Amino acid sequence: MTVSRRRPAGDDARRRPTSADVARASGVSRATVSYVLNNVAGQTIPESTRERVREVARELGYVPNAMAQALKRGTSRVILLDLYGWPWGPASDRFMAAFDAELASAGFLLLVRHGIGAAVDIEDVAVQVAAHTVVSRREFDAGAVEAMGNAGVRVAASQFFQGAQRDLLLVQLGYLRERGHTQLLYALPDEPSLAELARIRLAAAKEAARALGVDLHATVTLTADPVRNRDDLAAALTASPGVTAMAAYNDDVALAALAACARLGIAVPDRLAVIGLDNTRAGAQAMPTLTTVDMDLDTIGRFAARRLIAPPDAPPAESLPRATVVARESA
């Protein structure tokens, strides 16, 4: 009997060949096709049959479904990024572009899930796509981490970001300390989408303050309401009269602080030094111009991608590039 190895005719000719087509043309079962093309060990399949299946697959142009293969292996080349708590803006865009490019160069696909829904939704997506790793600022509970681990999915939750935040705050607060400021105020944003990163960054600020031997007296939350900002900053400085400098969550918050100082008639930096973080263009146009912390986000994005896909027990091959201060007029 002659086995036909022609491509499917008619409408079927336009569809992608399947394992069923390979099985039919080879005269074997779909299970045998799967065993052969996936190199499954422990199967007593004659070598002649293996060669025939491979030849038919080549002739038909059969390509195994990538997701099906990932599910068989228990993992894939997909990195699932959960944008819950992710700050939007030029800084995050620069990081994301470098992060994505580095992953792509290593053969990984970055799948972005906008931060909508609960942590369980991210868990479900991760398992469905057999992700290599989930990157998220969420705090997954132990059950979720175990469930994803059982599916072969690694989890890089908020701790993935915390080391970098500590380094940033050491640079930011260290600059103020070097200029004699030991009584500090920390300014936070009020956007709900930034709440998780703000929590991480505040914890890093407190840790950096302890390491540097300075007092982080209190926090003030600055909003889009200039009158409220004026009143809240005045109250914070009245409650902590020894404060001489403010470190802000980012440049946007620092700019709101500069505006509040102007409304209160507070001289910057003579009465209150202000330093931001992110080095945005707007900071260079402020009056006074904003001193800030600059991160090499292109390098950091590539660095983060390499660390993420490295084996868990691999020693760090490089160190995170250190942030630098852009000294201007405000501090």
CATH number where 153 lies: 3.40.50.2300
138 and 176 in a single domain? The answer is no
Q: What is the 3-state secondary structure (H, E, C) of 246-315?
A: EEECCHHHHHHHHHHHHHHCCCCCCCCEEECCCCCHHHHHCCCCCEEEECCHHHHHHHHHHHHHCCCCCC
Name the percent of the chain lying above pLDDT 70: 85
Q: Specify whether the CB–CB gap between 211 and 174 falls below 8 A.
A: no
Let me know if residue 302 belongs to a domain: no
Query: What are 124-155's pLDDT values in tens digits?
Result: 788 778 788 888 877 777 777 877 887 778 88
Burial track 265-284 (b if 16+ CB lie within 10 A, e otherwise): ebebbeebbbbbbbbbeebe
CA nearest 278: which of 258, 297, 299? 297
Mean pLDDT calculated for residue range 98-111: 92
Which of 109, 139, 157 terminates a domain? The answer is 157
Would you place residue 63 in the very low, low, confident or very high pLDDT band (cuts 50, 70, 90)? low
Q: Are residues 177 and 246 in the same domain?
A: yes
Domain-located, residue 304? no
**Which range has the top average pLDDT, 35-39, 98-102, 115-119?**
98-102
Listed ranges 54-68, 95-109, 266-280; the one with the highest mean pLDDT: 266-280
Phi-psi region of 21 (alpha: psi -120 to 50; beta: other; left: phi over 0): alpha
Exposure string over 175-191, b if 16+ CB within 10 A, otherwise e: bbbeeebeebbbbbbbe
Upper half-sphere CA count for residue 315 (Cβ side, 13 Å): 1
Place 68 in a pLDDT band, splitting at 50, 70 and 90: low
Which of 15-19, 108-112, 274-278, 306-310 shows the lowest per-residue confidence on average (mean pLDDT)?
Answer: 15-19
**Are 292 and 169 members of one domain?**
yes
CA distances, 51 to each of 26, 56, 201 (Å):
10, 9, 59
Residue 307 resides in a domain: no
Per residue in 42-53, pLDDT (tens digit) is 788 999 999 999
Number of structural domains found in the chain: 3
* Whether residues 322 and 183 fall in one domain: yes
- In this structure, the answer to whether residues 322 and 176 fall within a common structural domain is yes
- 184 and 235 in a single domain? The answer is yes
Residue 37, domain extent: 10-64
- Name residue, tokens 């991210």: 122
Q: Which residue has the tokens 């609960």?
A: 118
Say if residue 209 is in the same domain as residue 119: no
Answer whether residue 253 is part of any domain: yes
- Cβ burial of 140 (10 Å; 0-12, 13-18, 19+) is buried
Percent of the chain whose predicted confidence (pLDDT) is above 90: 44
Task: Tell me, yes or no, whether 147 lies in a domain.
Answer: yes
Which pLDDT belongs to residue 40? 65
Mean per-residue pLDDT, 222-227: 95
Gap between the Cα atoms of 230 and 237, Å rounded: 11
Instruction: Name the token pair of 273.
Output: 């030094």
Q: Element (H or E) spanning 68, and its range?
A: helix 66-73
Task: Name the residue among 138, 275, 116 with its Cα closest to residue 205.
Answer: 275
- Extended beta strands in 44-145, E state: 78-82, 109-113, 133-135
The answer to whether residue 162 scores a pLDDT higher than 80 is no
**Is the model's pLDDT at 301 over the cut of 90?**
no
pLDDT score for 312: 73
pLDDT tens per residue across span 72-99: 555 578 999 888 777 777 788 888 899 9
- Are 19 and 106 within one domain? no
Same domain assignment for residues 242 and 219: yes
- The position carrying tokens 């022609």 is 6
Residue of 155 and 174 predicted with greater confidence: 174
